[in-house]
Amino acid sequence: MKTYFNIRYEFDREMVHAAIADRLKSEGSDYICVSDGVVLNNANRHPEYLEAVNGGMFSVCDSSYVPLYIRLIYGERYGQYCGSEIFRDIVTSRKYRMMFLGASQEVLDGLKATVSEWNPDVADMRFVELPFLPVEQFDYEAIARMVEEDGADIIWVALGAPKQEHFMHNLKPHLNHGVMIAVGAVFKFFSSVESARAPKWLVEHHMEFLYRIKCEPRKQLKRCGWILITLPGLLFGEWRRKRVAKRELKR
């Protein structure tokens, strides 16, 4: 696990899954953030959000650009592990009982139909539409009771960033078991109801954001605008941290 751009990342996929398995052996709950460019941007502009993002086990890197930035600054090579990949990997592993929280009932029904084909055990799992509320108004004690009565090990949360990260941070103290994982638009991608993920060739060429803009122009253009405005400062700040760390080692 390493910290870049003020976010604690775990890039090793095997380590991600080993950490989940180990955490489920102990009492208490925890969570994993799936951090894309939007999460990175917001976390570095809002300290309380950065606290929520780093308040769990770690983040997996859902951005294809962050590994490029790290390679540019540090010369280190890492890969992306996007939300749709970790979601599919865990669901198809058939290792855990899961609960799916968030999105509309229509999306949840479509998602259940899709993932039940990957893993027949899912047919007996709960897909719960949460009320449309500000994050501070959820009844976290009631949600925790529902999760614990179900016995879920993995709790998938799809409320969109930054809401889903704050939600997990707030729910964590109330849960006695389970690992929550925030997966943003993944429920929609696999529901066959709303937007699917970008074609593979766009993803491989770091142009998925163009597809997202096409699907949700107003929302995604605003997000991309903030990323472009703040990116030079983030890159310079990380380069400066590298220089300071080098000077400290020489002392």
Token pair, residue 83, equals 């939300």
Where residue 63 falls (left for φ over 0; alpha for ψ -120 to 50; beta otherwise) is beta
The whole-angstrom separation of Cα 115 and Cα 128 is 15
Q: What is the pTM of this model?
A: 0.87
Confidence at residue 230, expressed as pLDDT on a 0 to 100 scale: 80
Nearest CA-CA partner of 177 in 59, 53, 25, 60: 25
What torsion do the CA atoms of 19, 51, 27, 124 make, to the nearest 10 degrees? -70
Report yes or no: 121 and 92 within 8 Å, Cβ to Cβ. Answer: no
Confidence at residue 110, expressed as pLDDT on a 0 to 100 scale: 95
Confidence at residue 224, expressed as pLDDT on a 0 to 100 scale: 65
Q: What is the pLDDT of residues 31-43, one digit of tens each?
A: 999 999 889 999 9
- Give the residue carrying structure tokens 């500000």: 134
First to last CA, the chain: 25
State yes or no: pLDDT of 135 exceeds 60. Answer: yes
Average pLDDT value for residue range 88-106: 96
State yes or no: pLDDT of 150 exceeds 70. Answer: yes
Nearest CA-CA partner of 121 in 97, 145, 144: 97
State yes or no: pLDDT of 209 exceeds 70. Answer: no
Token pair, residue 93, equals 């592993």
Q: What is the pLDDT of residues 99-123, one digit of tens each?
A: 999 999 999 999 999 999 999 999 9
Confidence at residue 11, expressed as pLDDT on a 0 to 100 scale: 97
The whole-angstrom separation of Cα 241 and Cα 187 is 37
Q: Parallel, antiparallel, or unpaired for β 7-9 and 2-4? A: antiparallel
